[in-house]
Structure 1
Amino acid sequence: MNLWLQLTVLLVTMMALMTLGWRWQQRHRNAGIVDVLWSTGVGLGAVLAALTSRGAATPRCIVGVLGSIWASRLAWHLWQRVRREDEDGRYRQLRAHWRGDAWKFFLFFQGQALSVPLFALPFMAAARNPMAAFTPAVMVGIAIWCIGVAGESIADRQLARFRHDPAHRGKTCRDGLWRYSRHPNYFFEWLHWFAYVALAWASPLAWLAWSGPIVMYVFLRWISGVAFTEAQALRSRGEDYREYLRTTPMLIPWFPKSSSSNRGTP
């Protein structure tokens, strides 16, 4: 199957899924389902690439397995939050801003559907790798994938454990990885996309694999990640989160600065 046909099949599938998701959120008043469906859709892109691309069997299998495992873990984690918790503050803010306009939410869901084929491009590129052997580039890709998925899983568990303690209500998580980055889950999510750059090293479409880390960084940094998350955190946690902003690196983990409360008065 050629690339354009793969992307068209994926897009049509996602538009249908996102329409069902939009109807679900209309009933349940929880737009967080869009993130669950987005993750699921990107995983479907990996499986589609593995089944219908023209590369060697080994890279196709690796792409299908790694992409679907990553997507399944993320979708399941997000579904647990959607199922057990109230609507995320980012979506509550959108609902208030749009005054609950169903049509605007429908367009929002379809916009997410449009983004899925974009994020599936690295899978399509890697699945066209003609090299059947486990080359050094493939081993590097698998290693990056393991580090990225493990780091994201650890960060998600640390945050979930913190959030589930009622004593932490209104406070900012600084446990584990969250001491060294305000968004360690986003960092490892971004890192994970470099795996497909390595897996696509010998592919005729290798350059397309770079769309993963580049586009993901743009989305996380300026569109749907850091900006929205931190705006909501400032509304809900106020000065505690402002202190966190001052002391903790935004994305790439590094040692935090000294808290202003621990500094002497000049």
Structure 2
Amino acid sequence: MLEIMGNSLVKAAAVDFGIQWVGWAVAASLKTEKFYDLAGSGTFICLALQSLKWGGRYHFRQKVNTGMVVSWAFRLGLFLFTRILKEGQDRRFNKVRDRPGTFFVYWTIQGMWVFLTLLPTLIVNDKREDRPLTSRDYIGWSLWTAGFLIESIADYQKSAFRGNPENQGKFIQHGLWSIVQYPNYLGEIMMWSGIYLSSTSVLRGWEHVSIISPLFLTFLLTKVSGIPIQEKGAFKRYGGDPAFHEHIKKTPKLIPFIW
């Protein structure tokens, strides 16, 4: 069983990094990052559906978790791709799009993000035996649903705010953005934590290593490519506005009423 699952994970990793590295080759030659996020989201969809097909069982839990991954990836990928087409560039890549070596690292990190975040779903979809639904499934799916709504609403509110010419040079501090500074990241963490929680209903032994999914995602968003980059840009744009400093002082960063 371990060998069979290992083979499935190896195939998934090969497809994952194959897509990223081909994407890097094309993006580096064109010196563009416009389809970076789209490639990442597309890889999630591809691997989620392909792992379900490789498993060949189509148990209810497998279909629900896979459907959640596909729904999230489709919505987020379309949102990010539409946004970059509208804005013309992604500031994260200003210093790397003309440096193929560094650009390659970014694409490789995306491959790691896809594989590690998707790990619980890959393992569950490879399960031959089915098990009855448990409270962990229902709690996990409820957590995912709440996270999906939070991220979707937060993205819509910020997009609408930026699209209003009257808000030029202003920062958003209404709606979900008045409750926490980064509601979109909170929603993302909730979704993948929910999928992992549902997966624990069938995980056994070493398979619990897939807890790295929500942990790695949280690390990326809070320490690497999420909050740190957003904070740096926000202080650069609004650092001279006393209202901005008051906002970040009184508004929890990620978790309402705590941090």
Q: Tell me how far apart the structure 1 counterparts of residues 210 and 56 of structure 2 sit (CA, whole Å).
A: 16
Q: Give the residue type in structure 1 aligned to 2:123.
A: A
Q: What CA deviation, in whole Å up to 9, does each residue of 1:68-118 have, x standing for no partner?
A: 1111111111111122212122222x33xx8x2122212321232233211
Report what 1:78 is aligned to. 80
Asked if residue 231 in structure 1 is aligned to residue 237 in structure 2, the reply is no
Report what 2:106 is aligned to. 108
Greater CA deviation, 211-220 or 1-10?
A: 1-10
1:111-260 map, 5 Å: 111-127=109-125, 128=127, 130-205=129-204, 207-240=208-241, 241-254=244-257
Report what 1:35 is aligned to. 37
Q: Give the residue type in structure 1 aligned to 2:253.
A: M
* Aligned-residue offset at 1:138: 1.9
Q: Tell me how far apart the structure 1 counterparts of residues 250 and 29 of structure 2 sit (CA, whole Å).
A: 41
Q: Tell me how far apart the structure 2 counterparts of residues 170 and 115 of structure 1 sit (CA, whole Å).
A: 32
* Aligned-residue offset at 1:26: 4.1
SS at match of 2:161: helix
> What TM-score do the two structures reach when normalised by structure 2?
0.85
Q: Tell me how far apart the structure 2 counterparts of residues 165 and 181 of structure 1 sit (CA, whole Å).
A: 22
Asked if residue 7 in structure 1 is aligned to residue 9 in structure 2, the reply is yes
Q: What CA deviation, in whole Å up to 9, does each residue of 1:127-170 have, x standing for no partner?
A: 33844433332222221111111111001100100011122122
Residues 26 and 102 of structure 1 are in contact (CA less than 8 Å); yes or no, is this contact kept in structure 2?
yes
* Aligned-residue offset at 1:6: 2.5
Specify whether residues 132 and 255 from structure 1 end up closer, same or farther in structure 2 by C-alpha distance, changes over 3 A only: closer
Greater CA deviation, 82-91 or 157-166?
A: 82-91
Residues 34 and 84 of structure 2 are in contact (CA less than 8 Å); yes or no, is this contact kept in structure 1?
yes
Greater CA deviation, 129-138 or 242-251?
A: 129-138
Q: Give the residue type in structure 1 aligned to 2:67.
A: V
Specify whether residues 66 and 235 from structure 1 end up closer, same or farther in structure 2 by C-alpha distance, changes over 3 A only: same
Report what 1:259 is aligned to. none
* Aligned-residue offset at 1:66: 1.3
Q: Give the residue type in structure 1 aligned to 2:157.
A: Q
* Aligned-residue offset at 1:62: 1.5
SS at match of 2:40: helix
SS at match of 1:193: helix
Residues 58 and 133 of structure 1 are in contact (CA less than 8 Å); yes or no, is this contact kept in structure 2?
no
Residues 248 and 255 of structure 1 are in contact (CA less than 8 Å); yes or no, is this contact kept in structure 2?
no
User: Which ranges of structure 2 fall in alignment gaps of 5 or more residues?
Assistant: none
Q: Tell me how far apart the structure 1 counterparts of residues 150 and 131 of structure 2 sit (CA, whole Å).
A: 29
Report what 1:16 is aligned to. 18
Q: Tell me how far apart the structure 1 counterparts of residues 104 and 37 of structure 2 sit (CA, whole Å).
A: 14
Number of aligned positions between the proteins: 252
User: Which ranges of structure 1 fall in alignment gaps of 5 or more residues?
Assistant: 257-266
Greater CA deviation, 237-246 or 57-66?
A: 237-246
Aligned-residue Cα RMSD (Å) equals: 2.6
Q: Indicate the percent of aligned positions where both proteins have the same amino acid.
A: 23
Q: Tell me how far apart the structure 2 counterparts of residues 109 and 184 of structure 1 sit (CA, whole Å).
A: 26
> What TM-score do the two structures reach when normalised by structure 1?
0.83
SS at match of 1:133: coil
Greater CA deviation, 159-168 or 106-115?
A: 106-115
Residues 129 and 202 of structure 1 are in contact (CA less than 8 Å); yes or no, is this contact kept in structure 2?
no
Q: What CA deviation, in whole Å up to 9, does each residue of 1:27-82 have, x standing for no partner?
A: 66542532222222223332233222387712221122111111111111111112
